[in-house]
Amino acid sequence: MKKTLIIGASPNPTRYAYKAAHMLKAKGHDFINIGIKKGTVAGVEIEEPGAVYADIDTITLYIGPALQSVYYDYILKTNPKRVIFNPGTENDELELLIKAQRIEVLEACTLVLLSTGQY
């Protein structure tokens, strides 16, 4: 199972990050919710970015490019195996920084990857 960091976690059930957390849980993946909203999603508290986790396989992004710059160092320090840019989160500048660290970049939908067994 792939331990996942959700950046842009939200307790709002209409948000895709919320749906991804529930699907990750249903598929047996451990995950950490990171975001600015307070609350719990799929039984996991939403944390503010701060603690760097060393055992993350995947970071999945649910924040747009305009909000991502404050997360650059956090993402790079986490050093995951891959980063998924969900639709609307694509960012050439961040993608280049990630690739420079030899981290896989995917422009894909986490929900689709999970649904089709490609996660």
The model's pLDDT over 60-111, given as tens digits with 9 standing for 90+, comes to 999 999 999 999 999 999 999 999 999 999 999 999 999 999 999 999 999 9
105 located within any domain: no
Percent of the chain beyond pLDDT 90?
A: 96
User: Residue 58 belongs to what domain range?
Assistant: 4-88
Q: How many residues does the structure list for the chain?
A: 119
The arithmetic mean of pLDDT across residues 12-40, rounded, is 97
112 located within any domain: no
Model pLDDT, residue 1: 84
Q: Which pTM was predicted?
A: 0.95
110 located within any domain: no
Rounded mean pLDDT of the chain? 97
108 located within any domain: no
96 located within any domain: no
106 located within any domain: no
Closest by Cα among 66, 59, 116 to 89: 66
Closest by Cα among 22, 28, 35 to 3: 28
Q: How many domains does the chain have?
A: 1
Determine contact, residues 73/52, Cβ cutoff 8 Å.
Answer: no
22 located within any domain: yes
Question: Domain of 81: which CATH number?
Answer: 3.40.50.720
